């Protein structure tokens, strides 16, 4: 399956949760933030090359790290040359080779955020725990609905104390999983140590597992 991890705003933790979900689901994480990539890269072909028609999507997947990753280039020229219309085809090729794909979507409501949703079977919407973040989550859910990506769950990220779970559930009509603030989650991409693996019994680790189970349930239906 192709799972899009999305959310209208930048900085809510989409990349971090994509990385954690990739680890929990044993998936390939695709950094689809063509303009402002977050996940680590290195020498070798990346998503810019794939979308520019210079590399094959499956060949661009990096196998060596803690989570399999298809990184994205960071140059403006690469972002400009990337044709987002090739993204769906690239995601399906990776899915055919690896079964599960987690797409870290860019912020915003342009085509680079819409195409992964159109290609995805399901999505997880990431939101910050403030009530004002609800409006963004609603807009993202509407876009996902229009583009036929079923909403699996809403991840309310970096929760301190009680999250407004009931409000989010009421308004969005989807299960809400609160991911408590844990500095290890924030550092997971950098250290290469996903919390759901190194601290599976921590509250954050359990929240990621719970999100992964929700995704699994939806993919087996």
Per CB under 8 A, residues contacting another protein are 34-35, 40-43, 73-77, 79-80, 82, 84-85, 87-88, 106, 108-115, 117-119, 147-148
What are φ and ψ of residue 218, in 5° steps? -70, -30
Q: Which is nearer to another protein, 85 or 217 (CB)?
A: 85
CB of 121 to another protein, least distance (A): 12
Residue with smaller CB distance to another protein, 11 or 161: 11
Shortest gap between Cβ of 11 and another protein (angstroms)? 17
14: Cβ–Cβ under 8 A, 6 or more apart, which residues? 5, 6, 7, 104, 105, 107, 126
- Strands of 101-104's sheet, edge to edge? 68-70, 28-31, 101-104, 2-6, 122-127, 150-159, 176-180
- Tokens standing for residue 24: 């929990």
Spatial distance between the Cα atoms of 13 and 134, rounded to a whole number of angstroms: 15
- Comparison of 90 and 134: residue with beta carbon closer to another protein: 90
Nearer to another protein, 75 or 130 (CB): 75
CA separation for the pair 45, 86 (Å, rounded): 15
Compare residues 31 and 182 and give the one whose CB is closer to another protein.
31
């Amino acid at each position: 399956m192709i799972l899009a991890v999305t959310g209208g705003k930048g900085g809510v933790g989409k990349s971090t949760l994509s990385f954690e979900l990739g680890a929990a689901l044993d998936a390939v994480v695709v950094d689809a933030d063509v303009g402002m990539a977050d996940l680590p890269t290195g020498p070798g072909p990346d998503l810019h090359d794939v979308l520019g028609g210079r590399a094959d999507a499956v060949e661009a997947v990096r196998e060596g790290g803690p989570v399999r990753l298809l990184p994205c280039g960071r140059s403006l020229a690469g972002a400009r040359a990337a044709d987002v219309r090739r993204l769906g085809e690239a995601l399906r090729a990776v899915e055919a080779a690896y079964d599960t794909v987690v797409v870290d979507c860019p912020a915003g409501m342009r085509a680079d955020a819409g195409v992964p949703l159109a290609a995805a079977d399901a999505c997880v919407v990431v939101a910050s725990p403030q009530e004002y973040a609800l409006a963004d989550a609603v807009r993202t859910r509407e876009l996902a609905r229009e583009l036929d990506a079923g909403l699996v769950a809403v991840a309310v990220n970096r929760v301190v104390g009680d999250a407004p779970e009931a409000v989010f559930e009421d308004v969005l009509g989807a299960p809400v999983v609160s991911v408590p603030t844990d500095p290890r989650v924030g550092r997971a991409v950098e250290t290469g140590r996903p919390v759901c693996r190194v601290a599976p019994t921590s509250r954050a680790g359990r929240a990621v597992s719970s999100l992964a189970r929700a995704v699994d349930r939806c993919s087996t239906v």
